Amino acid sequence: MGNDRAWMGLGLLVGLALAPRSAEARVYPIPILADTEDDLRLLIEDGVLDPDDFETLLELLSNPVDLNRANKNQVYDLPGVSLKLAGAIVDDRRANGPFASQADLARVPGVTDEIVAQARLFAYAEPRPDKPRLEDLRTNLKMRGSYFIQDRSTFSASQTSSNSTEELGYGRLPQSYVATRVEHPWGFEAGFVGLQREAVVRAAYSPADQAIYADWGYPALQLGRLWGSVERGRYSAIAGHYTAGFGLGITFDSTNRTRPQGWYPDMAVNTDIEDGDFRLRQALVGVSGRVEDVPLGSLLLESTAFVSSRTPDVYQYHMAVTGDEAFDPDSPDLSSPRVFIDGYKAAYITIPNAYRENLVGLNTELSARGSTRFGLTGWMGFYDKTALDGTPDNEEWYVRQRVADDNQFGAFGAYAGHSVGGFDFTGEYARSLSGGNAVQLMALYDDGPAEIELSARHFDTTYDNPHARGIAAADVYRGFRDRDEQGLRLRTEIKPTKIFKTRWMVDAWKNLSTDRANLEVFGRVQLDPQKWLMLAAMADHRNRDLANNGRTRIYGGDYADQFADAGDFDEDVTVITDDTNIVDGAGSRNYWALQTRFSLIPATQLELFYRRVYEDAGLVYPQGGEICEPGFQIGTASWAKVRVKPTDSTTLTVRWRYWDDDVHGSKGDRFTDGYLQAQQKINKTWSATLRGGLLFDLVDLPAEWADACKLVGRPDLEAACGVTVDTDTALSAAKKKPEALILATVEARFR
């Protein structure tokens, strides 16, 4: 069940990522009323929060917006804040002075209690002293630990087949990290993240075997982040780990910001709420300097230069061995390197420091009166795969995900924007060094009750820019989202009254190489008839054509591979290879959900959620009595959460969930899980959170119709109608001990 749920989580994230990246208008699909990062991640699993929105919120959680220093674009990332309201917040600060606290936001017209509540985790306000002293140093400290408890009595290592880390006996021990950030009003900041975890600590490639030999380590002490920055007037610089982005992000953007401009420190640490593992995203490593607000007549100039040399980690199945031959990215026959740990063949392994990426870039922007801006961005880089010990040259193996086709790569582009009244127009053009073009246009209208965004995009099939993060669907082409795509998207949020709001999104796009169209439609309606009551309904339709967006778009392969991947069958499925009617057009995923939140008892809040999913996953079911045809796989999920504040300093939260991927069959998973969380503010400096969760596998017997296709003379469909879980395996779930995860967090703010 552990591995099945890991694949379920990966598949769910990939599926949810089909929602385009919110790269401009910050209209989150739901109100963000979360207490912790873990609450945000549960919203992803429930299917109501886009993974890219989560990444933005996680970045804000680790690097909160300073309301007394942020510009309009930075404030715009906050939940519930429109572009017009972000401008009003900045204007109010300039007119009335700094905010005394985060709650002081309420003085700005248009900022509601809900907006203040949503911004609680993602923003802060602390006025700087007029005459800073040495002792005015501010320090934020966060320590977090996890312990995953799992029944491993059925796990054993094999000498003849691949083994997961659980089967090899790893992943049993606690993990932890510490993150600290110091700031002084003189303009100095520094940050550090250190991790202690189980992981591969050394790896070497063997050209003769086309395999990787690795060592497992615990504790694998990892320097996750280390950076320092200085800001003096209009000049600022950072050294160490950082991110950077510009314009609409199609030329260069390594951030998760809505409207990036320049460099940003990066302190975000991802926590996997399934097994408690801690992960870091791939940041830039080097130096960056910025000069801003340089007067040039009636214009203001801002310029940022950046240099990076980093060694990313790579998932083993994203590597393709070429054997020192010319790489053909369209070849489906390239295999991933085998990985051996302690003499055993291992699977699902992330290889640390797999290659080196060196790059250098420059951005320059001119702005006029805050309403018009024009910018140029250019950068170039090269790969060095010999950074992995034993790799003889750059042609020995290739990375399939977000790595350019050539070892030398880069892009250059231009963007422009203009604001007038309630309208904001932005556009960007970029060209990769390989010759591919990209264009993104954006129009945003905000009149208070309504915010409407209309965007268009075009990415050539040859646009291989690994640092592009524009609006794009997740149907990757050669590992890139911002490639091989044309699309048009409309997003809107309308609040005609104080008690009613609705959000809608329509996105239509096609893939240039296959000329196939895709569509997503999302809608949410929310009613707040009383302060203590919220009612909401939402629905989503996503066309995920398997023949267009399935395995061939990532790994290469044929229709049989796609069908096997879509249906979660074994790799040796060979039926229906030529029956493309089953695969073409499949992949539609539809859901509707209901949500309510109410507080009838003081200091107590209850939230209920129910979702029904209809997914055309290429499965075959009995239809109409005597023939098996493609049908929807129906899934369901529901949960209840109670939040209680017995005192001003104590918060208790209980959440319980039921999940079934296939109500009428036995595909996917069926389980129930929940957690109890206690948050305690010890004093003005210290706070602690303890969270304990349990997961129970549920019996999921084979469907009654499992052998139906054999009875109607369709032997070609027998494998599809068969089940992947036999009765004995399903019943064993009832005897399996529950899995448990304990998370403990301690935070402190020293002022």
Give mean pLDDT, residues 438-456.
89
In this prediction, residue 703 has a pLDDT band, given cuts at 50, 70 and 90, of low
Alpha helices in 471-575 (DSSP H): 546-549, 559-567
Across 349-353, 424-428, 478-482, least confident range: 478-482
CB of 671 closer than 8 Å to CB of 697: yes
Higher pLDDT pick, 575 / 718: 718
Tell me, what's the pLDDT at 544?
61
Tell me, what's the pLDDT at 171?
80
In this prediction, residue 331 has a pLDDT band, given cuts at 50, 70 and 90, of low
φ, ψ dihedrals at 311, nearest 5° = -125, 90
Tell me, what's the pLDDT at 329?
60
Tell me, what's the pLDDT at 585?
43
Which amino acid belongs to residue 463? Y
Give mean pLDDT, residues 718-737.
51
List of E strands, 185-210: 188-206
In this prediction, residue 470 has a pLDDT band, given cuts at 50, 70 and 90, of confident
In this prediction, residue 584 has a pLDDT band, given cuts at 50, 70 and 90, of very low
Across 21-35, 274-288, 608-622, least confident range: 21-35
Tell me, what's the pLDDT at 650?
93
pLDDT at 164 over 60: yes
In this prediction, residue 45 has a pLDDT band, given cuts at 50, 70 and 90, of low
Give mean pLDDT, residues 422-436.
92
In this prediction, residue 14 has a pLDDT band, given cuts at 50, 70 and 90, of very low
> Average per-residue pLDDT in the chain?
80
In this prediction, residue 79 has a pLDDT band, given cuts at 50, 70 and 90, of confident
Tell me, what's the pLDDT at 46?
66
Give mean pLDDT, residues 631-635.
77
Tell me, what's the pLDDT at 716?
52
pLDDT in tens, 54-75: 777 877 887 888 888 888 878 8
In this prediction, residue 324 has a pLDDT band, given cuts at 50, 70 and 90, of low
CA dihedral 655, 656, 662, 667 (to 10 degrees): 90
Tell me, what's the pLDDT at 248?
92
Tell me, what's the pLDDT at 325?
64
pLDDT in tens, 532-554: 899 999 999 887 655 444 433 33
Tell me, what's the pLDDT at 163?
86
CB of 745 closer than 8 Å to CB of 716: no
Tell me, what's the pLDDT at 734?
52
pLDDT at 283 over 80: yes
In this prediction, residue 673 has a pLDDT band, given cuts at 50, 70 and 90, of very high
CB of 664 closer than 8 Å to CB of 701: no
CB of 163 closer than 8 Å to CB of 345: yes
Q: Give CA angle at 381 (377, 384), nearest 5°.
A: 165
Higher pLDDT pick, 32 / 360: 360
pLDDT in tens, 648-659: 899 999 999 999
Tell me, what's the pLDDT at 728?
53
Question: 8 in helix, strand or coil?
Answer: helix
pLDDT at 161 over 90: no
Alpha carbons within 13 angstroms on the beta-carbon side of residue 177 total 22
pLDDT in tens, 395-417: 888 888 888 888 899 999 999 99
Higher pLDDT pick, 593 / 626: 593
Round to whole Å and give the CA distance between 31 and 525: 12
Closest CA to 290 of 384, 364, 358, 342: 364
Round to whole Å and give the CA distance between 106 and 67: 12
pLDDT in tens, 285-294: 999 999 988 9
Round to whole Å and give the CA distance between 185 and 190: 12
Tell me, what's the pLDDT at 655?
93
Q: Of 252-256, 356-360, 472-476, 483-487, where does the model show the most confidence?
A: 356-360
In this prediction, residue 77 has a pLDDT band, given cuts at 50, 70 and 90, of confident
Higher pLDDT pick, 221 / 366: 366
Tell me, what's the pLDDT at 559?
34
CB of 676 closer than 8 Å to CB of 691: yes
